[in-house]
Chain A
Amino acid sequence: GQSLEQPSEVTAVEGAIVQINCTYQTSGFYGLSWYQQHDGGAPTFLSYNALDGLEETGRFSSFLSRSDSYGYLLLQELQMKDSASYFCAVDGANNLFFGTGTRLTVIP
């Protein structure tokens, strides 16, 4: 089976840095994805890590440690528009298994 754990809620101040952690247990692992979803909207892709290390895309970075079954999403220079839910998802080759999401609230 597969399971993912991520914090249910995080609050951070505008302009700050926040890290959202994700730990996973899975029988088949090809990579870890991160998606953002605003209320009432569709998920949108942020990043994918197949190998250990850091992937950087603008203000967002994602890290993976396969040996620790652990990853995180790092959001820098937080903006109010970053308030959303963030999901980590394990790539099982042909499909994704999603965590239950972390609701990020950015406050002024």
Chain B
Amino acid sequence: NAGVTQTPKFRVLKTGQSMTLLCAQDMNHEYMYWYRQDPGMGLRLIHYSVGEGTTAKGEVPDGYNVSRLKKQNFLLGLESAAPSQTSVYFCASRDAGFFSPSSYEQYFGPGTRLTVT
């Protein structure tokens, strides 16, 4: 099992450019999440999905769009990048069960470090 993978690992964009970050998981998880983490900060939820074809806004959704066309993939799009979107982006997934404390575990990908100049 590869777990949660993210593509790309690093990217530099110019202001106004667009890009898509890809997240893939091979654990058949229902729930998937996109977070951003800024220096010295916790993770802030951008968007999430509770199943194929569904998406919902998180804490900081402005400037981002997402799609969950396939259960194993969750895409994060930046339509017009801004310097304020310079951050490390983490994708995570979780099973839908609620059977034990470990059921609530979110599995994180390695992150994408994005710089917008």
Give me the interface of A with B, judged by CB distance under 8 Å.
4, 31, 33, 35, 41-45, 47-50, 55, 87, 89, 91, 94-101
A62 to B, closest residue via Cβ: B101
A45 & B31 in contact (Cβ 8 Å cutoff): no
B4 to A, closest residue via Cβ: A42
B3: shortest Cβ distance to chain A, in Å?
Answer: 10
* Size category, B interface: 20 to 34
Q: A95-B48, A100-B41 are in contact. Are A50 and B110 (CB under 8 A)?
A: no
Contact of B59 among A35, A50, A91, A97 (CB under 8 A): A97
A88 to B, closest residue via Cβ: B42
CA gap between A94 and B33 in the complex, in Å = 10
Q: A44-B108, A48-B101, A94-B56 are in contact. Are A87 and B42 (CB under 8 A)?
A: yes
CA gap between A55 and B50 in the complex, in Å = 27
Whether B87 is near chain A, meaning CB under 8 Å from some CB there, is no
**What residues on B are CB-neighbors of A87 within 8 Å?**
42-43
B50 to A, closest residue via Cβ: A94
B45 & A48 in contact (Cβ 8 Å cutoff): no
**What residues on A are CB-neighbors of B111 within 8 Å?**
42
SS class of chain A's interface: helix, strand, loop or mixed?
strand
List 7 A–B pairs whose Cβ atoms lie within 8 Å, in order of A's numbering.
A42-B108, A43-B90, A45-B104, A94-B31, A96-B43, A98-B44, A99-B42
A95 & B101 in contact (Cβ 8 Å cutoff): no
A50 & B45 in contact (Cβ 8 Å cutoff): no
Query: For window 78-116 of chain B, which residues contact chain A by CB distance below 8 Å?
Result: 90, 92, 101-102, 104-111
A22: shortest Cβ distance to chain B, in Å?
Answer: 11
**What residues on B are CB-neighbors of A96 within 8 Å?**
33, 43, 45, 106
B84: shortest Cβ distance to chain A, in Å?
Answer: 18
